[in-house]
A and B are shown apart, each in its own frame.
Chain A
Amino acid sequence: MPPEDAAPVLSVRDLTVEFVTRRGTLRALDRISFDVARGEVLGVVGESGAGKSVTGSAIIGLIDPPGRIAGGEVRLAGERIDDLPDEAMRKVRGKRIGMIFQDPLTSLNPLYRISEQLIETIQVHTDLDATQARARAIALLDEVGIPAPEKRIDSYPHQFSGGMRQRVVIALALCAEPEFIIADEPTTALDVSVQAQIIALIKTLCRERGTSVMLVTHDMGVIAETADRVAVMYAGRIAEIGPVRDVVKEPLHPYAQGLMGAIPSLEGETTRLVQIPGSMPRLSAIPSGCAFNPRCGQAFARCHVERPELVAVGDRKVACHLYDEPRRSGAGAEIAA
């Protein structure tokens, strides 16, 4: 369990990302806020187009034009990083925030040996000389579970299997001992038996090094087993965020409830799966009020006009009018009705 009292490693407040296109401005992230504590794994789930990956890219400052951060702030260990100039941001990226992407083959340069890639990264971020850097690279490969690292280090990426390559990518992310790692679908390209090994590895690294991880994935099973807390995203907003056990077992937000019910499980009865009608809205046509209201079975007048804010319900936060305190009988709702 992560220490609750410590200051968060990462703090995101009202982060908004927009893409300016010919047909108007698309809002990919709409005022999202969350914290990640030291040594904690925060899972971010959602379906395609929910804004999971954009969240990761925005934090490390890799939103390319026409996209831009239109508002809000990102703080790493209390220090604001979203408005840093490119040069300063480059020092944060890799050094203080590590990254693991979905496809390990595209994260590694196929023309360079693993040793060259690891040693280069280590030397960019530390003062070690070549011999020391090599020793450190071997130690890292050993830590991520690559057998005979002193021999394998001089191999090329294609000589590794998918699971081993992803281990190399994790070693690469760990080179500079970052405080925070963004893992974007790290196991999606892998087979289940290998996926389990990579999940176990990420968990061990968090526990032993105190590194915080933001784990972005569409796979609720991976989140359920890896994360301490989970944020469920929908149409660029956070629908629900809280301890993983609560959100998986008893989701509060109607979208989270539908999502959990839709997942076939290895336990329980194989009855009909819960079905959410329709699909995620396009960014160009996000419904007014609560973005989920056209698909929600419990929507009422207020949901169509007023966007719900994240409100605390016990240990978690939910953005749904069903859990709002009834405030001044909702003037807007009456106008709409």
Chain B
Amino acid sequence: MSRTTADEPALVEVRDLKRVFDVSKPWLNRVIERAPRQFLKAVDGVSFEIRKGETFALVGESGSGKSTVARMVVGLLPPTAGTVTIDGVSMNDAAAAEERQRLRRRIQMIFQDPYASLNPRWRVGRIIAEPIRAFRLVDGEAAIEARVGDLLTLVGLHPADRVKFPHEFSGGQRQRIAIARALASDAEFIVCDEPTSALDVSVQAQILNLMRDLQERLGLTYLFISHNLAVVRHMASRIGVMYLGRLVEVSEGKSLFSAPRHPYTRMLLDAVPDVAMVGKAREAVKGEIPNPIAPPSGCTFHPRCPLVFDRCRLESPPVIDGVACHAVQAGRVAAA
């Protein structure tokens, strides 16, 4: 596989993205119990860019904020602060509303659960034709029908499947329908939020292969969200690792696995059970993700970090050269 996207311009630019959720108790409870308002920083200052034609992956455990980032990138959730710029158009600047409307067609999303993301009362043909009709991409019923047939063929289904309902398909086939729907508007940038987590491994392999084939054929750009490091390694050209709402490391796909730098990345890689690890001993992982409502001070990973020193407890480390860690930046870690 040779995918040279390094010199491509950035299609998506995310700068200092923040999202705070208000998780306070209702007003009356706050008054009676004298409880303060409570806020959860789901995403806390995340910056990255995605180059045209590449797959940028965000990995992290539950609660790390990766899905929240995905929702903000496509505009399903307004950010508390920070900007998302796609192909030069700001996703949150009111002045760019008209340009953004034109941009919408080029951005699509694939969700985790193909049982929930397809309308059970609509036939597959109508599901896939919806973006075509909404954006008025093709004129005439016959042309729409032909386009839907082409899309079904593209994702490995049969044009005749358009008259069926979603319940007549297996999980993997439903995910193919979701991909066909995403491609129906000639999308260029697809945000995939855990697209194979609900599928069995043999079906997961079919969908991952399909997504890679489509990327090569159509030059798609993916933002790929997953908790599965092996899947991410297989799909991504660049990877960002998230922990408690912050990006702790961004690196080229291969080097993240051969030379992880952030202590959290190392711990995560050590923890993943892998078929290549049969019969090998591994180091024990310490602790669990802290409560995001009251995250630790300084670097949020410091209570679990083997390299912790006094500065980590006080200051939150900035991302320098793709890694946010005081120990790495101070040269306290030998390169792996």
Contact = CB atoms under 8 A, between A and B. Distances in A.
Contacts of B274: 221, 224-225, 265-267
Interface stretch (B137-145, B197-205, B307-315): B197-205
Interface in B279-313: 279-280, 282, 284-285, 288-289
A274 B205 contact: yes
B277 A225 contact: yes
25 contacts: A47-B203, A48-B200, A163-B288, A192-B61, A192-B268, A192-B271, A195-B273, A196-B270, A196-B284, A197-B284, A197-B285, A224-B273, A224-B278, A225-B274, A225-B280, A245-B279, A262-B205, A266-B276, A270-B1, A270-B253, A271-B1, A273-B234, A276-B205, A276-B206, A279-B202
Interface of A: 47-48, 161, 163-164, 191-197, 199-200, 218-222, 224-226, 244-245, 248-249, 258-268, 270-276, 279-280
B275 interface: yes
Contacts of A195: 271, 273
A185 B83 CA distance: 41
Contacts of A265: 230, 274-276
B27 to A, nearest CB: 24
A36 to B, nearest CB: 19
Contact of B282 (A196, A245, A262, A276): A196
B273 A196 contact: yes
Nearest to A48: B200
A218 B201 contact: yes
A221 B288 contact: no
Contact of B275 (A226, A248, A272, A279): A248
The binding surface of chain A is classed by DSSP as helix
B273 A225 contact: yes
A147 to B, nearest CB: 10
Contacts of A48: 200
Contacts of A163: 288
Given A225-B273, A259-B201, A276-B202, A264 B284 contact: no
Given A193-B268, A196-B285, A47 B200 contact: yes
B255 interface: no
Contacts of A249: 278
B21 to A, nearest CB: 20
Interface of B: 1, 61-62, 170, 172, 200-206, 208-209, 212, 227-231, 233-234, 253, 257, 267-280, 282, 284-285, 288-289
A100 B336 CA distance: 38
Given A249-B278, A266-B272, A273-B234, A193 B285 contact: yes
A221 B227 contact: no
Residue from A192, A194, A267 whose CB has the most chain B CB atoms within 10 Å:
A192
Contacts of B227: 191-192
Contacts of B233: 264, 266, 270
A260 B275 contact: yes
Contacts of A161: 288
Given A220-B275, A259-B202, A264-B205, 7 more contacts: A221-B275, A224-B274, A264-B230, A266-B229, A266-B274, A274-B205, A275-B206
B205 A245 contact: no
Nearest to B290: A161
A48 B272 CA distance: 22
A81 to B, nearest CB: 31
A51 to B, nearest CB: 14
Contact of B278 (A197, A244, A263): A244
A199 B227 CA distance: 18
A273 B284 contact: no
A260 B270 CA distance: 21
Nearest to B279: A245
B204 A199 contact: no
A244 B253 CA distance: 30
Contact of B230 (A199, A222, A266): A266
B293 to A, nearest CB: 14
A238 B1 CA distance: 36
B200 A264 contact: no
Nearest to A267: B276
A248 B278 contact: yes
The 9 closest A-B pairs by CB, nearest first: A221-B273, A262-B205, A47-B200, A273-B205, A264-B234, A196-B271, A191-B61, A267-B276, A264-B230
A193 B243 CA distance: 12
B205 A224 contact: no
A158 B305 CA distance: 27
A194 B270 CA distance: 12
A262 B1 contact: no
Nearest to A226: B273
A233 B1 CA distance: 33
Contacts of B228: 264
A194 B275 CA distance: 18
A45 to B, nearest CB: 9
Contacts of A272: 209, 212
Contact of B204 (A200, A245, A261, A262): A262
Contact of A264 (B61, B208, B278): B208
